[in-house]
Amino acid sequence: MNYEATLVKVIDGDGVRLKVSLGFNLEGTFDFQLVGLDVPTGRLHIKEAKQALTDLLRKASVINVRPTGERTGAGRWWAVR
């Protein structure tokens, strides 16, 4: 199921914090790890990836997120972009 969301914060090159509309006038803020993004390691690459993701999501008129129902080892929810 897809949920409409707004960007709160880009955490790193493949992680975001989103405010998600859950329906029935309910919202929640969750951290997501985006499936399918391959972010290179190294401080410079992570910074560039974070900026690229920030630019991409700020340009989006609507953000839809589809959680997989599973969490990462860091406690983020996996989500399909």
Domains and CATH numbers, the chain: 3-80 (2.40.50.90)
Q: For every residue of the chain, which 3-state class applies, written as one string?
A: CCEEEEEEEECCCCEEEEEEEEECCEEEEEEEEEECCCCCCCHHHHHHHHHHHHHHHHHCCCEEEEEEEEECCCCCEEEEC
Question: What is the per-residue pLDDT for 26?
Answer: 96
Question: What is the per-residue pLDDT for 42?
Answer: 66
pLDDT at 81 over 80: no
Mean pLDDT (the chain) is: 88
Question: What is the per-residue pLDDT for 62?
Answer: 86
Dist. CA 20–CA 5, nearest whole Å = 4
State phi, psi for 14 to the nearest 5 degrees: -140, 15
Question: What is the per-residue pLDDT for 1?
Answer: 86
